[in-house]
Structures are given as C-alpha cells and as structure tokens.
A and B are shown apart, each in its own frame.
Chain A
Amino acid sequence: MLLVLLVVLPTGLLAWLAIRGVRDERQRVAGQLYAAAESRLTDVDARIERWLEEKSGRLMDLTASSNRDAVFWRDLVRTTPEISQIVVQAVDGRLVHPPLGDAISDAESQFLVRIRRILEEGFPSGLAEPTPQNDLSQRSRPVIDHGWVPWYWDEGLHLLFWRRDPAGSIIAVELDRTRLMSDLLVALPMEPDEDRSRADLWHMALEDSQGRVLSQTGSPMADGEAAETVERRLSPPLGAWVLRAEVRSSSLGALGKFLRVAGLVLVTAILGGLAFLFHRESSRELREASARVGFVNQVSHELRTPLTNIRLYAELLERRLGEDDENRSYLDIIVAECSRLSRLIGNVLTFAGRNRGTLAIHPVDGSVDETLRSVAAQFGPSLEAKGMEIAFGLAAAQPIPFDPDALEQIIGNLLSNVEKYAADGEVAEISSRQNDRVTLIRVADHGPGIPEDRKESVFEPFVRLSDSLTEGVSGTGIGLSIARELARLHGGELRLARADRGACFELELPNEPTRRPR
C-alpha cells in the first residue's frame, strides 16, 4: 500500500501542477491578448482621433461662411465626394438650406427626414467640459463650436459634422457613408501582427453596431473556436463600433494541449501502473500460496521418504531373524519410533493445513475397531517399554464412514498423551461402542488426570500440561487441538469425559455424515 501512496501522491502533485500550468498559461495568453487589444485600441482610437480632426479641419474650411446660397451648398455637395448632404440652420432655428418648397430634391428631403431628430434636439453650446488633461480654469476652456453627431439609420452609422459660425448659424455636413467607411478603413489599416508567429493564433476585427465586420486581421474563427475574446468600444463618436480580438483555443493548447495529452498519458500510465502493481500483489500472493503448498508437499515428501526406508528395512531385517531372536524387540522399537515420528509430522502438517484452512478429511466406510487396533499396535512397543499395557473393549463392529488417517491421528495423539503423562497408571484403555446414531470411542488412563481448571484449555493449541515430576515438558501442544478439529470435521466431537481417576477422552463420530467435509 505504501507503494501505491508513493505513486499516487506525486502523480496528484504533477496533475495539480499541470492544471495550474494550463491555467497560468491561459491567463498569460489572455493577459497578452488584453495587452495587445489595448494597444491596438489605443492605436485605433488615436488614428480615428487624427482622422476626425483632419476631417473637422477640412470641413471647417469648406463651411467657413454660412452666407452662401443654395447653389453654393449644392455645388459643394456635388464636388465633394465625402459630403453627401449639407444643412444650414439659422440661429433662430429656421432652415436656410436645403430650401424647402418645390426646389428641394428627393435626396435632400430624405436627408431632412433623416436628421429631423437631430435638428430638434439641437446642437450643444457653451464651454467644453473639463477633462483631466485640461486646465480647469474657465478662461482656457474652449467654446464648443463644432462637433460630430453619430446616428443610426438603415444601413448603420451616419456621421454628421456640425459647426456654428460666428453669426450663430449651424452648418451641418452629413458624410457620405460609403466614402466615410472607406476613408475610415484606410485611416486605420489593420496591419498584421508584427509577430508573424502569432498570425494564426488570433483574430482582430472592427465591427459596427450591427456586428458586421468592417475590417479584420488574422484568421477568422468558427463558432466556439475562440478561447479568449477581448472587446473594446471605440471612443465617441464611433462608440457603437467594437474592436474585437479573439485567440484561438488551439493556440492556448500549444502548451495546454500538450499538457492535456501529457496529463492523459500520465493518468493512463498511473492506472496501468496501479493495475500492474495490484496484479503483481495478488499474483504474488497466489504464487506465495502455491509456493507454500508446494513447500508443504515437498517437506512432507522429504521427511516421509527416509522414514519409509527406516521402517521398511527394519521390518525386512526382522523377517530375516528367527522367531525367537531377541533382537526382534529392538527392531520393534525402531518401527514404533518411526510411527511416532510419522505422527508428529502428521500433526505439524495438519496444523499448518488448519491454519491455511485447507484441512480436509476423506471419509470411507470402514470399521473403527480395525483402525483402533492398528494404532494401538503401533504404540505397543513404546508403552510396553514404560511398563504399560493396553486394555481393549472394542464393540463397534458396524462400519461407518470415517477418515482412517484422521482417526489414526486422533487416537495416536490421545495415546501419545497417555504415554507421556499417565505411564504410572500402567494401563491404557481403548474402548468403543455404537448405537443408531453415533459411534463412541474412549481412551482412558489411570494417570494423574487433568486439573478441573485446565479441562477446556487443554484443547487449545500450544497449551501443555507440565508435570513437575516429569523430566521436562515434551510435545508441541498441538495434538489435542488437532484431534478435536479432526473430530469436528467429521461432524463429531472430542471431549473430556468424567472419570474417577485419570483422564478419559471421548470421541464421538456420527454414523451418518452430518457435516460435509471440506
């Protein structure tokens, strides 16, 4: 798990940094965009300012005197392409030009319709508003005597230049729209970006009030393609116009895209790495488990092979001896010790199996009495050596299903305890009886018995009763715990029965299997 953490944390950190990086990049580009747009706008504004001033000056000159007649004005309109119409209003508001009545042309009357509102509103007078740049004193503030009026009609923006002559008359000039547009656009060329490398990255356009693009630079973008957009309105009188700058979202990802892809690759790599780690962990567990099982098999095989040979050759030797040869008893002991060793190995392996949950029994029909006799025979020599004898009371003739190896292990463990603790009692009683339901087997001795307070704990693993009279505590302490486990696997039970003297273990096996063996 530590490994997983070690992988996940730096990844998370990297991912966070990457996201931050992308965001920072976006902001940086946006910032750059704003800066660029700002400078552009300032530039455009300045140009327009200049143009307006130029135009103003020119128009002022052209309309120097209001004391002209209609012919003059009409002539002026005709000869000045940038002027579409002229209106002259006397100080009292009376319309001087165009002359009303039959002489007015269609164009002129349409013009009057167009500017009716403006004429009604009138033109500003008085002093110019102070601006931060100006000196605030009355004296230096100029008088408003000319200006621009933008208005909207039909196809869009119209500009009207007006001036007040010393007599107080207003002369207003409508600029020809087409000419106006082309003049304006000539005046504000949208040069491609000095930095050519960014030419594809963004797009700047001048849009009119209707959103129509009047002029643009860079490559236009489809809907949704723009990641960042900056808009600025031009200064009056062209305040309805908008300068819009857009940055391609894809350009954001020269870095962003890379980071995104890198992020994806990283995540995939992480997930792959984690999957691999988990797989390796679980397969390692599987490998370890099978190695453990293989180890147990191997140990079992390794220990049992020499044991087999010792027993086999001891018995072969015995066959060569005469019936009355006293050497036979020694060979009997060798064979008995082989059985004991085999039992110990069996106990350890069973215990290991129980711990792994792989302990299982394999019942077959058979006679328990036969197995009891066989186990007792194995103990014959060693019990005899301790001055003990076995008393049989076998009455379980009916065959029942049980695992003979397991029964051997159980009884073997019980007799081994008898041998260890109850040798003084001189007798080991093995008895069996049956009824319809169960088969009961008893192993009893006349030894010191088991103290009342230890009656349950003796079945726990690693618990040993030590008798101070014996030389030392022998055994592993797992015999009874294993014996009970094996009994329970049969669907039966191993318990300590009441006895007047000594210990009496009772093994109960069901005649019909009640629990399915694992």
Chain B
Amino acid sequence: MKILVAEDDQLTRKGLIEVLEAEGYETVEAADGAEALALFDETEPDVVCLDIMMPKIDGFEVCRQLRARPSDVPVIFISAKSEEIDKVVGLELGADDFLTKPFGIKEVIARIRAVTRRWLATRDRSDDASNTGPFLMADLEVAPDELRARRGDEVIDLSLREIKILRLLHTHAGKALDRNTIFNACWGLDYLPSSRTLDQTVSQLRKRIELDPKDPKIITTVHGVGYRYDDQSI
C-alpha cells in the first residue's frame, strides 16, 4: 500500500516517512503542492497525507484538485491547529482525517491504520496468491482487513508489515522462509534493509502475538535460514 506524503518541512516529512515505512507502507515524498499533484498522477498512491500550509499550492487546493480528477483517494490533512476552521473546510473537501501538530507517532499510526482498514475493506487485494480473508495461526485469529489479531477476547493491533509477514508465513506454513524471501514479500524490492531490521520487526511482532515471546510458538526461528510457521492443526 502506497502513501503520498506532502509536507514542506523536510524534517517533519522525513520523520513521517520513517514512521510509515516502519509500519510497512510504500512511501512517496512531495515537498510542495505542485509536486504532490504531479506525483499523484505518476505513482497513483492509495492514501495521501497533505500538509495544509505548503508553498505553491496549499493542501486544501491540492485536495480540491484531487477530488476534481475525480478521485476518492483517502486524504489525511496535517494542520498546525491555527485559528482557521481547518476541520470544517477539510471535511467539506472530503478529508478522511486530521493530524494536528505537534503529533506523536502513535497518533500518526492510529490515523493511518484507520484509513488503511477502510481501504482494505473496499479493495480486492491480491498481490499474492493468498486471499485477504481472516486466517488462523494456532489460537490466533488474524484479520488482515482490520489490521488486527484476536486471541479470545484480546484484541491486538498489528501493522501492515506485520500482517504481511504473518500472511506470508501462514501461506507457506511448515516451510522455512529465508530472509530474502521475507524481505521481498514484506518490504518491497526498493528496500535494502539490514537483517537487523527484520529481526527487530519479528521480535516486536512476537511481543505482540506470542503468549511467551521468549518461547515463540507461531513464529519459530530457523537458525541459519530464517523463520517458519508451523500449523499445529495439521
């Protein structure tokens, strides 16, 4: 899933990109409204994050033009909570959500997840052979459309990348997947993350879904190779 981030402050933009990529999203960067529109046409993102106060063309105008394409791409406005009635105007323009500065990482993720869930629900994603329907991994019910997993009453939020990893392992249940395979499937071909990144991500995922992260039952390590999911029910 691709997100276009249009923000004129370089530091903020880079920070947002880092957060989104860690979550598992493909990202496109624009430094002003004109670039945003050009990149939108070129790369066809699935979600657009628009800073309101941008040079050349401001966020509201970009949104107006996007809607006029016509396009119903989900839009998240980033505003500095000024005296202007940002929210009213934004909602009228068909914005899905707002991020107000200064925002924290949690807020960014929460907003993006909400948008992603809606997006997943309306689309028929089949970039790999597996379907998007929920699946079971041991006692864990994984619901990709919701970016969540459930164990009994417990609800666990998962990032897009984590969903991708689980789905990959589930699809190839019983098979040990090497790092490259996992990278290609879950990070995309444009990335060259270090293996540390993969390990860290798996470690974090285990903390979320394993009953005992130190003794993982769902994602097992295959030393020297990579990781594997064993379907116990077989």
Query: In the complex, what residue of chain B is closest to A301 when comparing beta carbons?
Result: B80
Q: State which of B82, B87, B100, B105 has its C-beta within 8 Å of the C-beta of A315.
A: B105
Instruction: Write the nearest CB–CB distance from B150 to chain A, whole angstroms.
Output: 22
A308 touches B12 (CB 8 A): yes
Instruction: Write the nearest CB–CB distance from A178 to chain B, whole angstroms.
Output: 100
A342 touches B85 (CB 8 A): no
Instruction: Write the nearest CB–CB distance from B109 to chain A, whole angstroms.
Output: 11
Report the separation of the CA atoms of residues A342 and B100 in the bound assembly, to the nearest whole angstrom. Answer: 11
Segment from A129-137, A209-217, A292-300 that makes contact with B: A292-300
A293 touches B101 (CB 8 A): no
Q: State which of B9, B53, B104 has its C-beta within 8 Å of the C-beta of A311.
A: B104
Collect the chain B residues with CB atoms within 8 Å of residue A346's CB. Answer: 81
A362 touches B85 (CB 8 A): yes
Instruction: Write the nearest CB–CB distance from B5 to chain A, whole angstroms.
Output: 13
Query: In the complex, what residue of chain B is closest to A338 when comparing beta carbons?
Result: B102
Query: In the complex, what residue of chain A is closest to B15 when comparing beta carbons?
Result: A312
Q: Does A316 contact B (CB under 8 A)?
A: yes
Q: State which of B12, B19, B82, B104 has its C-beta within 8 Å of the C-beta of A300.
A: B82
A349 touches B83 (CB 8 A): yes
Collect the chain B residues with CB atoms within 8 Å of residue A464's CB. Answer: none
**Interface residue count on the B side (C-beta < 8 Å):** 23
Instruction: Write the nearest CB–CB distance from B152 to chain A, whole angstroms.
Output: 23
Q: State which of B12, B80, B81, B100 has its C-beta within 8 Å of the C-beta of A312.
A: B12
Q: Does A90 contact B (CB under 8 A)?
A: no
Query: In the complex, what residue of chain B is closest to A323 when comparing beta carbons?
Result: B207
Q: Does A476 contact B (CB under 8 A)?
A: no
Report the separation of the CA atoms of residues A319 and B105 in the bound assembly, to the nearest whole angstrom. Answer: 10
Q: Does A19 contact B (CB under 8 A)?
A: no
Binding site secondary structure of chain A: helix
A297 touches B81 (CB 8 A): no
Q: Does A112 contact B (CB under 8 A)?
A: no
Tell me the B29-82 residues at the A interface (CB within 8 Å).
53, 80-82
Tell me the B97-117 residues at the A interface (CB within 8 Å).
100-105
Q: Does B84 contact A (CB under 8 A)?
A: yes
Instruction: Write the nearest CB–CB distance from B143 to chain A, whole angstroms.
Output: 23
Report the separation of the CA atoms of residues A338 and B102 in the bound assembly, to the nearest whole angstrom. Answer: 8
Report the separation of the CA atoms of residues A293 and B12 in the bound assembly, to the nearest whole angstrom. Answer: 25
Q: Does A305 contact B (CB under 8 A)?
A: yes
Collect the chain B residues with CB atoms within 8 Å of residue A307's CB. Answer: 101-102
Query: In the complex, what residue of chain A is closest to B11 when comparing beta carbons?
Result: A309
Report the separation of the CA atoms of residues A305 and B9 in the bound assembly, to the nearest whole angstrom. Answer: 8
Report the separation of the CA atoms of residues A232 and B82 in the bound assembly, to the nearest whole angstrom. Answer: 88
Q: Does B234 contact A (CB under 8 A)?
A: no
B102 touches A308 (CB 8 A): yes
Instruction: Write the nearest CB–CB distance from A216 to chain B, whole angstroms.
Output: 83
Q: State which of A297, A342, A360, A362 has its C-beta within 8 Å of the C-beta of B102.
A: A342
Q: Does A405 contact B (CB under 8 A)?
A: yes
Instruction: Write the nearest CB–CB distance from B197 to chain A, whole angstroms.
Output: 11
Instruction: Write the nearest CB–CB distance from A172 to chain B, whole angstroms.
Output: 111
Collect the chain B residues with CB atoms within 8 Å of residue A308's CB. Answer: 9, 12, 101-103
Q: State which of A316, A353, A358 has its C-beta within 8 Å of the C-beta of B19.
A: A316
Q: Does A310 contact B (CB under 8 A)?
A: yes
Q: Does B199 contact A (CB under 8 A)?
A: no
**Given known contacts A310-B102, A362-B87, A405 and B81 CB-to-CB distance under 8 angstroms:** yes
B15 touches A304 (CB 8 A): no
Q: Does B18 contact A (CB under 8 A)?
A: yes
Report the separation of the CA atoms of residues A310 and B9 in the bound assembly, to the nearest whole angstrom. Answer: 13
Report the separation of the CA atoms of residues A300 and B81 in the bound assembly, to the nearest whole angstrom. Answer: 7
Collect the chain B residues with CB atoms within 8 Å of residue A358's CB. Answer: 83
Report the separation of the CA atoms of residues A349 and B81 in the bound assembly, to the nearest whole angstrom. Answer: 10
Collect the chain B residues with CB atoms within 8 Å of residue A315's CB. Answer: 104-105
B18 touches A309 (CB 8 A): no
Report the separation of the CA atoms of residues A304 and B82 in the bound assembly, to the nearest whole angstrom. Answer: 10
Q: Does A313 contact B (CB under 8 A)?
A: yes
B102 touches A353 (CB 8 A): no
B53 touches A301 (CB 8 A): yes
Report the separation of the CA atoms of residues A352 and B18 in the bound assembly, to the nearest whole angstrom. Answer: 36
**Given known contacts A311-B104, A335-B104, A296 and B81 CB-to-CB distance under 8 angstroms:** no
Report the separation of the CA atoms of residues A360 and B84 in the bound assembly, to the nearest whole angstrom. Answer: 10
Q: Does B129 contact A (CB under 8 A)?
A: no
B18 touches A305 (CB 8 A): no
Tell me the A325-373 residues at the B interface (CB within 8 Å).
335, 338-339, 342, 346, 349, 352-353, 358, 360, 362
Instruction: Write the nearest CB–CB distance from A14 to chain B, whole angstroms.
Output: 48
Q: Does B88 contact A (CB under 8 A)?
A: yes
Query: In the complex, what residue of chain A is closest to B99 when comparing beta carbons?
Result: A308
Instruction: Write the nearest CB–CB distance from A66 to chain B, whole angstroms.
Output: 121
Collect the chain B residues with CB atoms within 8 Å of residue A310's CB. Answer: 102
Tell me the A98-154 residues at the B interface (CB within 8 Å).
none
Instruction: Write the nearest CB–CB distance from B203 to chain A, whole angstroms.
Output: 10
Q: State which of A300, A311, A316 has its C-beta within 8 Å of the C-beta of B103.
A: A311
Instruction: Write the nearest CB–CB distance from B19 to chain A, whole angstroms.
Output: 7
B87 touches A312 (CB 8 A): no
Most buried by B among A301, A338, A349: A301
Q: State which of A296, A309, A339 has its C-beta within 8 Å of the C-beta of B12.
A: A309
B80 touches A300 (CB 8 A): yes
Report the separation of the CA atoms of residues A307 and B15 in the bound assembly, to the nearest whole angstrom. Answer: 13
Given contacts A319-B22, A353-B83, 9 further A-B contacts (CB under 8 A): A297-B82, A300-B83, A304-B80, A304-B102, A307-B102, A308-B101, A310-B102, A312-B16, A312-B104
Interchain residue pairs A-B with the least CB separation, the first 6: A312-B15, A308-B102, A300-B82, A304-B101, A304-B80, A308-B101
Q: List 13 A-B contacts (CB under 8 A).
A: A296-B82, A297-B82, A300-B82, A301-B53, A301-B80, A305-B9, A307-B101, A308-B102, A335-B104, A346-B81, A349-B83, A358-B83, A362-B87
Chain A residues near B (Cβ < 8 Å)? 293, 296-297, 300-301, 304-305, 307-313, 315-316, 319, 335, 338-339, 342, 346, 349, 352-353, 358, 360, 362, 405
